[in-house]
Amino acid sequence: MNAAWETVIGLEIHAQLATKSKIFSGAATAYGAAPNTQACSVDLGLPGVLPVLNREAVRMAVKFGLAIDAAIGPYSVFARKNYFYPDLPKGYQISQFELPIVGPGHVDIEVDGVKKRIGVTRAHLEEDAGKSLHEDFHGLTGIDLNRAGTPLLEIVSEPDMRSADEAVAYMRKVHELVRYLEICDGNMQEGSFRCDANVSVRPRGQAEFGTRAEIKNINSFKFVEKAINYEIERQIEVIESGGKVVQETRLYDSMKDETRSMRGKEEANDYRYFPDPDLLPVVIEEAFKEEVKAMLPELPDAKKQRFKTHYGQDDETAATLTASRQLADYYEALVKASGGEAKLACNWVTGDLLGALNKAGLDISRSPVDYERLGGLLKRIADNTLSGKIAKRVFEALWQSPDTADAIIEREGLKQITDSGAIEAIIDKIIADNAGQVEQYRSGKDKVFGFFVGQVMKATQGQASPGEVNKLLKAKLKG
């Protein structure tokens, strides 16, 4: 990045709240229904209809506010944001302007080992618009109002980020948080989690901000990074070639990897916000806040810290295991099911399990191997019934069948042979059959030792305990 310039970034994240019904009507919010089948008279903005606030959306917003240590309430107001667009049925969007439900808070991020606190200016509730469909209508536009009225939490950051990496780290952190809180499914492809980025550059050391451009509707972490980096380069180029950055709204085109102008400041709407007379101010009482607080789950940072101290994990491992609430819960349930094998559980989850899930394209919540059965496997590793190698075979069997580890071990006769008498007998026979190799070993060719280990394992079909084999072989080969 250009050393003479400093980047300033602020993000506005739109998180669709995971309520069952819409923010101001009883219609369902489920994604993917046939166009206009999930839009009731309120969503259609028919004459005479009135909005009624969904209490669950308020609860979710308060949850988020508490999680980012924000000021909440006590008094919050819905406002009408006026503009005409065919997918905005009422000609205004019900949003919040002067008194948002969530006030100033913060989110901590870490980039390349450097921790940083990003300010959250506010988070407010609003209704989503419908969708305009420009394909398939031959010069006309189709309107699908299924999404109209879906609750959104718009999370506005301070202009605290100084690089695309920081912006991505912040966005990931908020993404992780809303999923931990179970207030948003975080599905970026379906648009449940998307953001607008305000980007500007200024000469390093200058206190005032440069003129910013707003990049609209970015719906992946990768695109956020690319769009911001493109925009930084573009702005620096404009200024260095004697031009001026204009305040405008831009769109990121992922196909061409560039941003381009949508509309300038002079075309900007005057939204004529005013309090919505159809809705009473929302009063958040202390008791309600306490009730929500009591139901807050352990948050990602706290969980990660606890994994480090309690399970002795390094930073990276703890981060991997706490990346989602479901994975962390799985891990902790596995530790319990395995009889407290925290280290072993950690190795298996971060290794074989996540590997297999990744390969199959599955989320932890859809893992074919639940923690109970994996716990059964870990128990058998811990008590030496299984060698590591055999354990992998059992894991594969667990993945394929609904049986328990013990059932599989029993059925396939996979028990590790730890009986030294039995192993000794096998070793004796191998020594007797391979006099040449014994001679080589005894004359100092240590490498031949591996040959003997291999022979024993072959004879026991891998079921002999490697520790036991090593010990006995060494003793016997000495002669």
Partner 1 sequence: MHNCTIAELASSLRTGEFSSVELTQAYLKRIEQHQALNSLITVTADQALMQAQAADDMRAAGQAGLLTGIPVIHKDIFCTKGVKTSCGSKMLDNFIAPYNATVIEKFHAAGAVTLGKSNMDEFAMGSSNETSYYGPVQNPWHTAAVPGGSSGGSAAAVAARLCAAATGTDTGGSIRQPAALCGITGLKPTYGRVSRYGMIAYASSLDQGGPMTRSAEDAAIMLQTMAGFDDKDSTSVEQPVPDYLAELNKPLDGLKIGLPEEFFGTGLNSDIAQALDAAIDQFQKLGAQVKSVSMPHLQYAIPAYYVIAPAECSANLSRFDGVRFGYRCENPADLTDLYTRSRGEAFGKEVKRRILIGTYALSAGYYDAYYLKAQKVRRLITEDFKAALTEVDVLMGPVSPSTAFGQGEKTGDPIQMYLSDIYTIAVNLAGLPALSIPAGFVDGKPVGLQIIGDYFAEGRLLSSAHQYQQVTDWHLQTPEGFD
Give residues in contact with partner 1 (CB under 8 A): 41, 44-53, 80, 82, 84, 86, 89-92, 141, 143, 270, 272-274, 277-280
Output b/e per residue, 429-461; b: 16+ Cβ within 10 A.
ebbeebeebbeebeeeeeebeeebeebbbebbe
Measured from the CB of residue 155, what is the shortest distance to partner 1 in angstroms?
A: 25
Residue 75 or 454 having the CB closest to partner 1: 75
What tokens does 34 get?
Answer: 């046939």
Q: Are 123 and 145 in contact (CB under 8 A)?
A: no
Measured from the CB of residue 69, what is the shortest distance to partner 1 in angstroms?
A: 30
* Separation between Cα atoms, residue 275 and residue 256, nearest integer Å: 41
Assign 3-state DSSP to the chain and report helix, strand, coil percentages, each to 5: 40, 20, 40
Measured from the CB of residue 121, what is the shortest distance to partner 1 in angstroms?
A: 20
Measured from the CB of residue 217, what is the shortest distance to partner 1 in angstroms?
A: 20
* Separation between Cα atoms, residue 142 and residue 418, nearest integer Å: 72
Measured from the CB of residue 135, what is the shortest distance to partner 1 in angstroms?
A: 17
CA dihedral 466, 467, 469, 474 (to 10 degrees): 130
Measured from the CB of residue 275, what is the shortest distance to partner 1 in angstroms?
A: 9
Residue of 355, 378, 379 lying closest to 367 (CA atoms): 355
Residue 41 or 400 having the CB closest to partner 1: 41
Contacts of 113 (CB under 8 A, 6+ apart): none
* Separation between Cα atoms, residue 355 and residue 361, nearest integer Å: 10
* Separation between Cα atoms, residue 385 and residue 387, nearest integer Å: 7
* Separation between Cα atoms, residue 358 and residue 218, nearest integer Å: 25
Residue 78 or 170 having the CB closest to partner 1: 78
Measured from the CB of residue 378, what is the shortest distance to partner 1 in angstroms?
A: 53
Measured from the CB of residue 307, what is the shortest distance to partner 1 in angstroms?
A: 45
Residue of 141, 92, 100 lying closest to 121 (CA atoms): 100
Residue 50 or 432 having the CB closest to partner 1: 50
Residue 47 or 413 having the CB closest to partner 1: 47
**Which DSSP helix (H) or strand (E) runs through 365?**
none
Measured from the CB of residue 142, what is the shortest distance to partner 1 in angstroms?
A: 11
What tokens does 381 get?
Answer: 């590793």
Q: Are 122 and 102 in contact (CB under 8 A)?
A: yes
Residue 38 or 367 having the CB closest to partner 1: 38
Residue 88 or 227 having the CB closest to partner 1: 88
Residue 52 or 422 having the CB closest to partner 1: 52
Residue 275 or 368 having the CB closest to partner 1: 275
What tokens does 302 get?
Answer: 């706290």
Residue 275 or 297 having the CB closest to partner 1: 275
Measured from the CB of residue 125, what is the shortest distance to partner 1 in angstroms?
A: 14
Please report, for residues 204, 437, 460, 474, the alpha-carbon distance to residue 441 in angstroms, rounded to integers and kept in the order given. Answer: 69, 6, 22, 10
Residue of 479, 478, 467 lying closest to 420 (CA atoms): 467
Strands across the sheet with 274-275, in order?
A: 92-96, 78-82, 274-275
